[in-house]
Structure 1
Amino acid sequence: MQGKTIMEMPQKTNKVKIAYFSGTGSTARVADTLERELTGRGVSVVKLEIRAGNHPSNDKEDLLILLFAVHAFNAPKIVYKWIDSLSSDNKRPVSAAVISVSGGGEMTPNTACRVSSIRKLEKKNFRVVYEKMIVMPSNWVVKTDDGLAIRLIERLPSKVERIVDDLLAGIVHRTRPKLIDRIFSRAGKMEKTGAKLFGKKIRVNENCNGCGWCEKKCPANNISMLDNKPVFGSECFLCLKCIYGCPNKALKAGIFKFIILKEGYDLRAVEKRMEGIKPARLEELAKGYLWKGVKEYLLEE
């Protein structure tokens, strides 16, 4: 259930920190779009990618924007670790916005996905004044049709523009998650065990040339190279960056294979495939309950 949106006296926002976690590229695209929109309005922006060993800076921002891809109806484990590492000695509460990114939208089972991260921020003396869901193409289990995917990609700038309008105007927007989704969120924490097992069971095929791309790019620092072959530890949290991003398509899931899209996941590839092609009508592309949240998001003014 959506909470009320109310107006406050606008406070001048001169400096914004965007802290984001992105596995397969969608959330990074959102972070880049936010940065361009804010800097275009004269706001100073510090952008920080959340990954293992990348600790918070000591910069004093007027607003923190925390941005993450939804993992099992929650923020990814690495986001919680990052929040835990934040200083809690702020003399005054710092305003914060929490923006989640999903392939399904603001609907069951995702409406409670921001609750735990907001609570952690509040314990660190942040005042969370704004939360929102951005919808991007799905990167697991069910592929988003290219026509629907390109609609989401092309709608992103206007969605971000609206968010920045709200933030700079001092609008407060919080939501009331559904009870059933709070239950889903708690149950989703069990994914941690499955994620570790998934990471340990990733298979390396004959395409691997020992380039080390996966070791460098793994946000959990869970991959190391041994005899020019990747070895996987137990810190995986199922972001799928290595499987989709490997330049040689050398990594395959050993278990839970159903979650991997056979076509892979690459936003730029979608844009290239859809270049010059007019997508079908939204009603044809977003049929059924599975795409209800996506349809509502695209129709939302």
Structure 2
Amino acid sequence: MILYFSGTGNSAYAAEKIAKVTGDKIIDLFSRIRGHNYSEIKSGSPWVIVTPTYAWRIPRIVQEWLENSGLVGNKDIYFVMTCGGSIGNAGKYLKELCAAKKLNYLGCAAVLMPENYIAMFTTPAQKEALEIIRQADPVIDKIALEIKNGKAFSQPAVSFQDKRSSGIINTAFYPIFVHAKKFYATDACVSCGKCVNVCPLNNIRLKDGKPIWGKNCTHCMACISRCPTEAIEYGRHSKGLPRYVFPKSNPELK
């Protein structure tokens, strides 16, 4: 059973590619996370959790959902994390999560994908993004085959910086940086409400036709990246940067 969460499409793409190889059922966790749905899910095959990397660990909203949800049946579990750079020492915390849920942790694999964190980094133009995706394809295929064959992922050496990034930096990152205060809509907004619909935490509402952000934000970048008129900005940093959403319709990826 493949469970995935994806803000701008990278993890959705990886999950779908893995499912084609393994033949597993695939579930998008968006509605379950948004609706606080922790109802039991049963699988006869190993669990595969595909998720983006937020500050060198899985997103806290995914962590919380996993902690509270009943995953029954098969006890083996894999994690696949898409990232713009590194997953740090994420495996340490995933092992702890699996131990608490009495699941057999079979490792965490990283897949380098186009950067989408427009709040802090530079997002790629389409040509660069397509090249990164092309390079990621054989990595995802290899991961899928290992899952299909029931093989545990090999784990790379963890550096001091990896431990620091997933530890103290992750702990500080959320209260300092993960908030919605800098999001705003320009006059290009057409009041379509897409930002409201793509928010996994119900954190956005329309007031007088313009989006208003609440305090419950996870920085998935779905609202700013999926706005059809690019009307949403994040302070000054996002101005002039390309909005990245996985280019599913691009013929080069077919």
Equivalent residue for 2:175? Answer: 193
Structure 1 distance, partners of 2:136, 2:188, is: 35
Report matched runs for 1:98-177 at 5 Å.
98-105=79-86, 110-140=87-117, 141-144=121-124, 148-175=128-155, 176-177=157-158
Instruction: Report the number of matched residues.
Output: 245
Cα contact 1:74–1:189 (8 A) shared by 2: no
Match 2:243 to one of 254, 264, 275: 264
The amino acid of 1:28's aligned partner reads: A
What is the CA deviation profile of residues 95-148 of structure 1, one whole-angstrom value per residue up to 9, with x for unaligned ones? 00011111225xxxx331333233212211111113211111122313446555
Superposition RMSD in Å: 2.6
Per-residue deviation, 1:261: 6.9
What is the CA deviation profile of residues 157-197 of structure 1, one whole-angstrom value per residue up to 9, with x for unaligned ones? 43232222212222122424223211111212222123443
* TM-score of the superposed pair, with normalisation by structure 2: 0.84
Equivalent residue for 1:21? Answer: 5
* TM-score of the superposed pair, with normalisation by structure 1: 0.72
- Long gaps (5+) in structure 2: none
**Aligned pair in 2 of structure 1 residues 93, 263: CA closer, same or farther (>3 Å)?**
closer
Secondary structure of the corresponding residue to residue 209 of structure 1: coil
Equivalent residue for 2:203? Answer: 222
Match 1:81 to one of 64, 71, 78: 64
Equivalent residue for 1:30? Answer: 14
Cα contact 1:100–1:114 (8 A) shared by 2: no
Structure having the higher Rg: 1
Secondary structure of the corresponding residue to residue 22 of structure 1: coil
Cα contact 2:125–2:242 (8 A) shared by 1: no
The answer to whether structure 1 residue 67 and structure 2 residue 47 are counterparts is no
Cα contact 2:15–2:26 (8 A) shared by 1: no
Per-residue deviation, 1:69: 0.9
Equivalent residue for 1:291? Answer: none
Structure 2 distance, partners of 1:210, 1:126, is: 45
The amino acid of 2:57's aligned partner reads: N
